[in-house]
Every structure is written in C-alpha cells, then in structure tokens.
C-alpha cells in the first residue's frame, strides 16, 4: 500500500473487526480494501453496475411472459423483483421461483413485504452475477 498510515489503520480495523467473520467475508473485505487503493475505484464500480443493469434489461426484454418486474433504481446494488404470474388468484412466491432455478434470493417477508417480492444481490463477484444471468436467461426462455 502506498500510504503507510492508511495501511496501518486498515490493518488495525481488519484485526478488530474480523473477529468471528467468516473466511469468505474476510477475503471479500481484503479484496475490497485492495480495490479501494485504485485511483479509479468508484468509476470502476459504477461501470460494473451499469454493465450488469444493461445485461439485466437485455435478458428481461426477452421474457415474452413478463414474469418479473424490477422495482429498484438503476445502479442499485440490490434488485427488488416482483413475480407477476398468478395461480388461483395468488401471485407466485418469488423467492421460491428463483430457488427452483438455483438462484439465491432474499424473501420479501424478511423485509416486511408480500412473498411475491424478493431481493437479489448485484454486489457480488463477476462469476456469481454471470451465474445469476445464465439462470435468469433459462427462466425467461421457458414457455
């Protein structure tokens, strides 16, 4: 690290804040802290999110059934998704729909909304979002 004082503060912070933090969490934090040292970090993140949102819009545009509505502001780290399909007058449990296709989501009731809503995480590694997009493409291609 170029700034020794900042490095010492980061070392102190990591030492005291990671007590009990999983190895994966520690690795993500270390990766983030290394990236923060890049002069163009915020432009990099903004570009990554813009690319992900563009790809999401392209995938959802292929969905003739219009199964999903995105209620998040573009550029957000989290996607609020509403499943629009109905069975017996009731909308699908959105988190279960995604789970059936191997997509990790957070059920709407965890956040005080109905089960037709769920939250997806866009603040993930590229490999994770690539898997998310691949699985979303499979869902929207279903009849």
Between strands 86-87 and 90-91, the pairing is: antiparallel
Both 112 and 80 in one domain: the answer is yes
Predicted confidence (pLDDT) per residue in 6-63, tens digit? 888 888 787 777 666 777 888 888 888 887 777 888 888 889 999 999 999 999 999 9
Q: For residues 67 and 83, give the distance between their C-alpha atoms in angstroms, rounded to a whole number.
A: 6
Q: For residues 140 and 118, give the distance between their C-alpha atoms in angstroms, rounded to a whole number.
A: 17
Both 99 and 59 in one domain: the answer is yes
Both 28 and 83 in one domain: the answer is no
Q: Cα-flanking dihedrals φ and ψ of residue 73, to 5°?
A: -75, 135
CA atoms within 13 A of residue 50's CA, in its CB half-sphere: 6
Tokens representing 27 are: 């690795």
Both 126 and 59 in one domain: the answer is yes
Number of domains present in the structure of the chain: 2
Distances (CA, A) of 116 to 54, 90, 98: 24, 9, 11
Predicted confidence (pLDDT) per residue in 79-134, tens digit? 999 999 887 777 889 999 999 999 999 999 999 999 999 999 988 889 999 999 99
Q: For residues 141 and 59, give the distance between their C-alpha atoms in angstroms, rounded to a whole number.
A: 9
Contact partners, residue 24, CB within 8 Å, separation at least 6: none
Q: Which domain holds residue 10?
A: 4-36
């Amino acid at each position: 690290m170029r700034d020794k004082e900042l490095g010492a503060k980061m070392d102190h912070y990591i030492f005291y804040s990671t007590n009990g933090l999983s190895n994966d969490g520690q690795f993500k934090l270390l990766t983030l802290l290394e990236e923060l040292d890049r002069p163009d970090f915020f432009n990099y993140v903004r570009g990554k999110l813009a690319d992900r949102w563009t790809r999401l819009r392209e995938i959802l545009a292929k969905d003739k059934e219009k199964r999903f509505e995105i209620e998040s502001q573009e550029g957000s780290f989290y996607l609020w998704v509403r499943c629009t399909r109905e069975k017996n007058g009731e909308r699908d449990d959105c988190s279960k729909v995604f789970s059936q296709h191997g997509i990790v989501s957070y059920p709407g009731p965890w956040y005080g909304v109905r089960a037709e809503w769920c939250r997806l995480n866009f603040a993930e590694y590229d490999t994770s979002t690539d898997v998310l997009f691949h699985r979303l493409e499979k869902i929207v291609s279903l009849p």
